[in-house]
């Protein structure tokens, strides 16, 4: 089978698709399939066992999009099926142009994410479903629906996102839930715990609402927070840490390679997630896979993998006081902390890469033969 994988980001970028796409490409190539990748990048990606073709992000937006769609089209001609986890407009245009079927792996509502980037809407993804964003927001929703309705299949990592997708008029028989897998490679050696330390990894944006995490840490004496990632909110977050008097307990590490992030999770007492909206974050699965509980707000599909009192602590979305209480409780209750740690890794055992990628392989093979 010849598979073209399309991803908007690729290592050294940090983010779910930049982890998922290379892992899947490696799995499929290892199974004897012909794999090629199309992505965007700041500079030429590192060499892989398969071909990685890229469009420079330095190009103006319109030109970059046209070139991306043209590259997908030209490479799709040599493929049996296209699998896309980003660049959905360019992926669908290129695949349809080349008359090849395509499978979509969603990570969020692409119309909402685009509307947020353009500053068209505020609020969360659920509020966006009722409208908003003016004519451009309307056009983005229509484009999203067009792209997904013509997909041969759509995968969602959470039941929460699948419900959203069905509300857009996509046929239920073409949409299913497939969780994000645990990392293909985990740290080979145990690391000592940092001691009363929380960790976060991800883009520093409004979505992550890290100001709430800072307030929770400020309420817990002696607890440190390590933040791996970059984004437009870094400066305001550093200022907020100073205002709260915890600048000496909060360390901004900048963007980190994926393995470094997983090592950071393993060495921390817990990870923290204070997002205003989420789907099914890769970082939650990564943390649990290395035995580190998650203290999180119940946004989107987070509650499908973090179970309160089992492998972490879950509080209502937007409730900063409840998150602060959870942090204090976690660090003052030794028995609770050890129980959650003991259950963390086994709670994501069903997300083994062989099972998740095996299902993807079967679906791609079926669609390639139709």
Which CATH number goes with the domain that contains 326?
3.40.50.2000
pTM of the predicted protein model: 0.88
Q: Is residue 99 part of a domain?
A: yes
Parallel, antiparallel or unpaired: strands 224-228 and 250-254 = parallel
Token couple for 367: 């669609």
H runs (alpha helix) in 150-209: 159-167
Same domain as 160, residue 25: yes
pLDDT (0 to 100) of residue 299: 87
Same domain as 356, residue 346: no
Q: Is residue 191 part of a domain?
A: no
115 CB neighbour count, 10 Å cutoff: 23
Same domain as 147, residue 239: no
Token couple for 134: 């003016």
End-to-end Cα spacing for the chain: 13
Same domain as 163, residue 24: yes
pLDDT (0 to 100) of residue 188: 61
Same domain as 303, residue 316: yes
Q: Is residue 249 part of a domain?
A: yes
Cα–Cα distance measured from residue 10 to residue 16, given in angstroms and rounded to the nearest whole number: 10
Q: Is residue 283 part of a domain?
A: yes
H runs (alpha helix) in 269-313: 282-289
Cα–Cα distance measured from residue 268 to residue 187, given in angstroms and rounded to the nearest whole number: 14
Q: Is residue 190 part of a domain?
A: no
Same domain as 221, residue 120: no
Contacts of 142 (CB under 8 A, 6+ apart): none
pLDDT (0 to 100) of residue 259: 87
pLDDT (0 to 100) of residue 183: 81
With beta carbons less than 8 A apart as the criterion, state whether 17 and 9 touch.
yes
Cα–Cα distance measured from residue 8 to residue 88, given in angstroms and rounded to the nearest whole number: 9
Q: Is residue 186 part of a domain?
A: no
Q: Is residue 330 part of a domain?
A: yes
Same domain as 160, residue 228: no
**Residue pointed to by tokens 């609402």:** 209
Cα–Cα distance measured from residue 222 to residue 232, given in angstroms and rounded to the nearest whole number: 28
* DSSP one-letter code for 174: G
Cα–Cα distance measured from residue 128 to residue 109, given in angstroms and rounded to the nearest whole number: 10
User: Of all helices (H) and strands (E), which one includes residue 315?
Assistant: strand 312-316
With beta carbons less than 8 A apart as the criterion, state whether 297 and 319 touch.
yes
Same domain as 80, residue 129: yes
Same domain as 218, residue 160: no
Same domain as 83, residue 41: yes
From 102, 129, 105, select the one nearest 115 (Cα to Cα): 129
Average pLDDT by stretches of 10, the chain with 370 residues: 96 85 96 97 94 96 95 97 96 96 94 88 86 91 95 95 95 94 73 79 89 96 94 95 96 91 94 89 92 94 94 95 97 96 94 94 94
The most distant pair of C-alpha atoms in the chain lies apart, rounded to whole Å, by 61
* DSSP one-letter code for 41: E
Same domain as 93, residue 73: yes
Contacts of 260 (CB under 8 A, 6+ apart): 228
Q: Is residue 364 part of a domain?
A: yes
* Total domains present in the chain: 2
Which domain, by its residues, includes 66? 2-180+352-369
What DSSP string describes 175-188?
EEE-PPPPPSS--S
Same domain as 102, residue 207: no
């Amino acid at each position: 089978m010849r598979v073209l994988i399309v991803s908007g980001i690729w290592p050294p970028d940090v983010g779910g698709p930049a982890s998922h796409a290379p892992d899947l490409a490696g799995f499929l190539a290892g199974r004897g399939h012909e794999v090629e990748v199309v992505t965007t990048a700041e500079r030429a990606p590192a060499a892989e066992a398969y071909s990685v073709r890229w469009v420079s992000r330095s190009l103006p937006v319109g030109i970059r999009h046209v070139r991306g769609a043209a590259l997908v089209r030209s490479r799709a001609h040599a493929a049996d099926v296209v699998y896309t986890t980003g660049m959905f407009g360019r992926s669908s245009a290129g695949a349809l142009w080349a008359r090849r079927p395509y499978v979509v792996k969603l990570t969020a509502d692409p119309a909402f994410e685009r509307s947020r980037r353009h500053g068209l809407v505020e609020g969360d993804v659920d509020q966006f479903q009722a409208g908003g964003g003016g004519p451009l927001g309307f056009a983005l929703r229509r484009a999203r629906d067009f792209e997904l309705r013509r997909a041969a299949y759509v995968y969602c990592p959470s039941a929460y996102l699948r419900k959203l997708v069905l509300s857009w008029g996509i046929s239920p028989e073409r949409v299913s839930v497939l969780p994000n897998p645990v990392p293909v490679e985990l740290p080979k050696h145990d690391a000592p715990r940092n001691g009363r330390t929380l960790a976060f990894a991800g883009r520093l944006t409004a979505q992550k609402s890290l100001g709430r995490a800072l307030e929770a840490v400020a309420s817990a004496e002696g607890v440190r927070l390590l933040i791996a990632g970059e984004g437009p909110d870094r400066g305001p977050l550093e200022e907020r840490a100073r205002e709260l008097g915890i600048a000496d307990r909060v360390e901004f590490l900048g963007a980190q390679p994926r393995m470094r992030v997983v090592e950071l999770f393993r060495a921390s007492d817990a990870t923290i997630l204070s997002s205003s909206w989420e789907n099914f974050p890769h970082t939650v699965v990564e943390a649990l896979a290395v035995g580190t509980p998650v203290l999180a707000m119940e946004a989107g599909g987070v509650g499908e993998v973090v179970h309160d009192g089992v492998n972490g602590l879950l509080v209502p979305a937007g409730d900063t006081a409840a998150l602060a209480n959870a942090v204090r409780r976690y660090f003052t209750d030794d028995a609770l902390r050890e129980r959650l740690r003991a259950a963390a890794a086994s709670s994501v055992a069903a997300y083994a890469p062989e099972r998740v990628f095996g299902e993807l392989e079967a679906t791609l093979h079926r669609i390639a033969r139709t």
